[in-house]
Structure 1
Amino acid sequence: MQKLFLPYVFELNKCAKMFKKVALGISGGVDSAVAALLLKRAGYLVEGVFMRNWDSNYEAGFCSDEKDFEDATFVCRKLDIPLHRVYFIKEYWNEVFTVLLNEYENGLTPNPDILCNRFIKFDSFFEHCRNNLGIDVIATGHYANTSFGPFLDKYNENEGVRLLQPKDKFKDQTFFLSQIKQFSLRRCMFPIANLMKSQVREIAKKEGLINVANKKDSTGICFIGKRRFQHFIEEYIETRKGNFIDIDTGQVVGEHSGLHKWTVGQRCCLANWKNAYFIFKKDLDTNDIYVVAGTKHPAIWNNLCFTGTPHWIHSEPIELTQNNVLKCCFRFQHTKPLVACRIVNNSQGLTILLDNNVRALTEGQYAVLYKNGECLGSAKIKEVCRNLDFQTEF
């Protein structure tokens, strides 16, 4: 067990002379608990901060944070570190939830986790800790790394910082961090960057953090809980019925109760049809949804999309400014493999051409870009080129 800690203690102690007090975002899960343990073992003054972003008094919402807060309290008492509870309910509503509702109403499929990290966990949280706790840096239990090292041991105030993938590629969370600001990232530690998830759980077990050692990872949108998304969202967006239309036959094959309840590639369980139908495209003007028969229908497999203005975490890649074409890798879903692509700037943002077709490219999602283990940044997908013949000189 001791061998697991020795390299981290060495790295942290080198940096401790520069940064002594750390505010750790502690969620009640195993990852932030082990991050707290590593920081504490290295002699840092650690302040645990538990964020509450959703008001559980809303009838339509759900929040598990009472149980999570109990687990966070257990961890902090075990490690003898103070725990603060802060509320970002207003900020979350304004910066994340209202954006989510607006985009659903406009036929898009947003990503609230990316927005939450940009505006809440690495913005409101960071500013709160600087202004109220007198901290030098923040830390989280994300599986991510930076060019300054997991513990800022390579910190250089004259350099920009790059967001890097962690050792555990399966748990890699840089996708969700692809919109965070350089200012916050420069003062952020990711203590578990060089650990596998299995090692994190092993450390928690051996150190007596039994409440969280085997706790399941949180998935989905936190405030929805076990409710179906379609039942949750109808509490906030007016239901407006429309038709499901087969794009190949033009035939009406069913009826839906709202564009906002569906996303590209999703299966719509329609009775009395031989083949399963999947969402192809939403029509805001007619309120109809076009569908295709079969998950392998070529209409939902595409390789060209256009984005809005990109957010580059460090700086715009030099290839775009010098050669006009950036060769890198792309994903728009956290769990999907990276796909090689070529990118050019256009008047609105980026044009992205993938080397291979991917299923269900979706407007409103983020095109997250990688090269040589670095997360370069991301841009929101504005338009997908579906089933069109085109020529390009990329």
Structure 2
Amino acid sequence: MQVVRHVVCAMSGGVDSAVSALLLRRRGYQVTGVFMNNWDVVDEHGMCSAEKDCEDAYRVCQKLDIPFHQVSYVKEYWHEVFSYFLNEYEKGRTPNPDVLCNKHIKFNHFLNYAIDNLGADAIATGHYARTSHEDEDIFQNQYLKSSQTLFRNRFEIRNNVKLLQAADFFKDQTFFLSQISQCALRKTLFPLGGLTKDFVKKIAAEAGFHHVLKRKESMGICFIGERNFEKFILEYLEPQPGNFVSIEDGKILGTHKGWFLFTLGQRARIGGLRDPWFVVDKDVATGDIFVAPCTDHPALFRDLLRTDRMHWIAEEPPAELVNNKMMDCHFRFQHQMALVPCVLTLNQDGTVWATLVKPIRALTPGQV
């Protein structure tokens, strides 16, 4: 008699997670839905839609006749994602909270909860991504916590899972999954990886998930939502007034409330100036934001990226890079950005330099 596999599916209240749970049920798996509450609605005076999202997720689980659980990671999200997010902005960088949220919350705390508390054989999410393993391979994989060392035990034999792009290149979300661990990837199913968004919506309509189809596509900061960024960030960071300075002649063009309100490449709306100026650099020590007078100014382009220690999904650098200290590959620092050819150089301390074949606009510290 065949064993019925238990898959715990992360439910957001949206169409993607709803269809993911539906497809898992159709494959004959025992499915449990879990909604993660990661932001304290009291902090935002009712602005966050978490309660409505939870209700929508519950209705999907009811319709599928599967168990529904709700779990809170408010404290973990604050300490491991949002605090880092604020610190990075204070340092003049532009972090990506969605990448951090996947790394620390969905593919760490949620994964552990699903396996340790709910007895899951695997987890599933509504991300548009694929892996190199079939479902049954994922079920057979041992659940091994990530190694804390740079290189894993050389005598440990593992069939590493590769993270692969989704069939729908426009919706592909592998960029947001780029920091998750090998141990998480080895226990994760992506039911939507081979589908297009349009087809997912068609499945949802045929299944009667009309309440989730009416929802707007989720945007904005992970779990916090879409809102006025300046107003939101100034609730947590004190204003740090400074000057807008022309990169061309050093002339002061205006003032701002804080360097953390701007990112490289962004249009700087400077009072009294009709023509557009764009952010090319920031000096945290002085508070100056350097701007250029056109969107394709040479100062906006870079062809060299220096990283901190790299996160390798396979847990160690590719053999070609280790052996040759250099390797050709492709690079992106934003979701949906076209891949750019580059050459990686591996340094002795584990950091990596990426030399781009051609300069790209607004290469932003903190985005990779």
What TM-score does the superposition give when structure 2 sets the normalisation length? Answer: 0.91
The 1-side partners of 2:309 and 2:363 are apart by 18
Cα gap change, 1:227 to 1:340, in 2 (>3 Å) = same
The 1-side partners of 2:12 and 2:48 are apart by 13
Q: Which amino acid aligns with 2:335?
A: H
The 2-side partners of 1:79 and 1:60 are apart by 33
Q: Which amino acid aligns with 2:358?
A: N
Q: Which amino acid aligns with 2:298?
A: P
Identify which of 115, 118, 122 aligns with 1:137.
Answer: 122
Shift of the alpha carbon at 1:213?
2.8
Is the partner of 2:309 in helix, strand or coil?
coil
Cα gap change, 1:155 to 1:300, in 2 (>3 Å) = farther
The 1-side partners of 2:91 and 2:200 are apart by 41
Q: Please name the residue that 2:364 is paired with.
A: 362
The 2-side partners of 1:312 and 1:305 are apart by 17
Instruction: Figure out how many residues of one structure are paired with residues of the other and give that number.
Output: 351
Q: Where does 1:18-33 land on structure 2 (aligned, <5 Å)?
A: 20-33=5-18
Is the partner of 1:58 in helix, strand or coil?
helix
The answer to whether structure 1 residue 212 and structure 2 residue 204 are counterparts is: no
Q: Which amino acid aligns with 1:38?
A: L
Contact 2:322 2:346 in 1 (8 A): no
The 2-side partners of 1:107 and 1:60 are apart by 28
Q: Which runs of 5+ in 2 are unaligned?
A: 143-157
The CA RMSD over aligned residues, in Å, is 1.8
The 1-side partners of 2:233 and 2:72 are apart by 23
Cα gap change, 1:234 to 1:145, in 2 (>3 Å) = same
Q: Please name the residue that 1:53 is paired with.
A: 38
Q: Please name the residue that 1:120 is paired with.
A: 105
Q: Please name the residue that 2:282 is paired with.
A: 282
Q: Which amino acid aligns with 2:342?
A: C
Q: Please name the residue that 2:153 is paired with.
A: none
The 1-side partners of 2:292 and 2:30 are apart by 57
Q: Cα deviations across residues 284-330 of structure 1 (Å, max 9, x unaligned)?
A: 21111111111110100111110000111013112211222111110
The 2-side partners of 1:200 and 1:100 are apart by 32
Q: Cα deviations across residues 80-106 of structure 1 (Å, max 9, x unaligned)?
A: 001100000010001000001111111
The answer to whether structure 1 residue 323 and structure 2 residue 324 are counterparts is: yes
Q: Please name the residue that 2:347 is paired with.
A: 346
Cα gap change, 1:233 to 1:156, in 2 (>3 Å) = closer
Q: Cα deviations across residues 121-142 of structure 1 (Å, max 9, x unaligned)?
A: 0000011112211111111111
Q: Please name the residue that 1:298 is paired with.
A: 298
Q: Please name the residue that 2:190 is paired with.
A: 190
Contact 1:147 1:161 in 2 (8 A): yes
The answer to whether structure 1 residue 257 and structure 2 residue 232 are counterparts is: no
Identify which of 74, 79, 103 aligns with 2:59.
Answer: 74
Q: Which runs of 5+ in 1 are unaligned?
A: 1-15, 367-394
Cα gap change, 1:239 to 1:51, in 2 (>3 Å) = same
Q: Please name the residue that 2:152 is paired with.
A: none
Q: Which amino acid aligns with 2:110?
A: F
Q: Please name the residue that 2:181 is paired with.
A: 181
The 2-side partners of 1:191 and 1:108 are apart by 34
Cα gap change, 1:179 to 1:156, in 2 (>3 Å) = same
Q: Please name the residue that 1:336 is paired with.
A: 337
Q: Which amino acid aligns with 1:360?
A: A
Contact 2:281 2:291 in 1 (8 A): yes
The 2-side partners of 1:284 and 1:153 are apart by 46
Cα gap change, 1:154 to 1:59, in 2 (>3 Å) = closer
Contact 1:201 1:214 in 2 (8 A): no
The 1-side partners of 2:252 and 2:270 are apart by 11
Cα gap change, 1:298 to 1:19, in 2 (>3 Å) = farther
Contact 1:306 1:352 in 2 (8 A): yes
Q: Where does 1:145-156 land on structure 2 (aligned, <5 Å)?
A: 145-149=130-134, 152=137
Cα gap change, 1:154 to 1:48, in 2 (>3 Å) = closer
The 1-side partners of 2:256 and 2:169 are apart by 38
Contact 1:151 1:191 in 2 (8 A): no
Q: Which amino acid aligns with 2:318?
A: P
Contact 1:50 1:84 in 2 (8 A): yes
Contact 1:60 1:235 in 2 (8 A): no
Q: Please name the residue that 2:146 is paired with.
A: none
Q: Which amino acid aligns with 1:355?
A: V
Q: Which amino acid aligns with 1:139?
A: A
Q: Which amino acid aligns with 1:339?
A: V
Q: Which amino acid aligns with 1:356?
A: K
Cα gap change, 1:283 to 1:276, in 2 (>3 Å) = same
Is the partner of 1:54 in helix, strand or coil?
coil
Contact 2:98 2:222 in 1 (8 A): no
Shift of the alpha carbon at 1:24?
0.4
Shift of the alpha carbon at 1:73?
1.3
Shift of the alpha carbon at 1:216?
2.5
Q: Which amino acid aligns with 2:329?
A: C
Q: Runs ≥4 in structure 1, deviation > 2 angstroms? A: 16-19, 59-62, 149-158, 213-216, 222-227, 271-275
The 2-side partners of 1:101 and 1:156 are apart by 37
Shift of the alpha carbon at 1:335?
2.1
Q: Which amino acid aligns with 1:26?
A: M
Contact 1:75 1:209 in 2 (8 A): yes
The answer to whether structure 1 residue 221 and structure 2 residue 221 are counterparts is: yes
Q: Please name the residue that 1:387 is paired with.
A: none
What TM-score does the superposition give when structure 1 sets the normalisation length? Answer: 0.85
